[in-house]
Amino acid sequence: MQQFKDTFKHKGRRRQLIMELAQMGIADERILNAFDAIPRHFFLDLAFDEQAYTNMAFQIGSNQTISHPYTVAFQTQLLEIERGMKVLEIGTGSGFQSAVLCQLGAKVYSIERHQPLHLKAKQVLAHFKFYPSLFFGDGYKGNRVYAPYDRIIVTCGAPEIPSVLIEQLKPGGIMVIPVGEGSEQKMLRIQKNESCQIDTQEFGTFKFVPMLERTVKTQSKN
């Protein structure tokens, strides 16, 4: 069972991580402050408590991983979030990225295809009194009900850019998505201008768990 204790040790390690992120090029103070406000170890099993503030990915169950802190910070920075924006996330996972977006004042909608992860993320986020709209489902389809979105963030490696997600992006909106088949993806920032033309920029190579179709209800073995 998850314990929610934030000790001086945790806080110290978190400060260290934030300094590292700043050195790695995360310049947006609001993002660094959000990382300070949200204890990452709350989103991990106790076994990873010691390493929660190292720049690493960890297993979160259902054979999935929480993204590296740098990856979360980098994707968030590319999104240019303003308070009140509607943000769709594909791949709730542990809920950590959703928490960062909520802390920045976004109105978050997040989809997860593994039910146990979806349920666990809901619990952890409620501890912070964050109540994003969390959905158990297939993120390939996005979520038409609340579309269009100011921002879309995909936190799993997509084999290609899902056209449905482009459709659900507001004119003037930004989507950040790692695209590529296999173990590595290119981080893309896709901007839709007011006349719905698409401009794509590339921001380096990252490693994500794959974006897969269909939902999974039962807990799979790690």
Beta-sheet pairing, 185-192 with 169-179: antiparallel
d(CA 115, CA 213): 14
Nearest approach, Cβ of residue 102 and ligand SAH (Å)? 12
Instruction: Say whether residue 117 binds ligand SAH (CB under 6 A).
Output: yes
Give the residue, chosen from 35, 58, 74, 96, that forms a contact with ligand SAH under the rule CB under 6 A.
96
Backbone angles phi, psi at 203, to 5 degrees: -130, 50
Give the residue, chosen from 40, 52, 58, 64, that forms a contact with ligand SAH under the rule CB under 6 A.
64
Print the SS3 string covering 116-157.
HHHHHHHHHHHHCCCCCEEEECCHHHCCHHHCCEEEEEECCE
Name the catalytic one among 67, 94, 98, 110.
67
* E strand or H helix at 29: helix 29-37
Q: Specify whether 67 is catalytic.
A: yes
Pattern 138-177, ligand SAH, x by CB under 6 A: xxx--------------xx---------------------
Contacts with ligand SAH, residue ranges (CB under 6 A):
64-67, 90-91, 93-94, 96-97, 111-114, 117, 138-140, 155-156, 209, 211-213
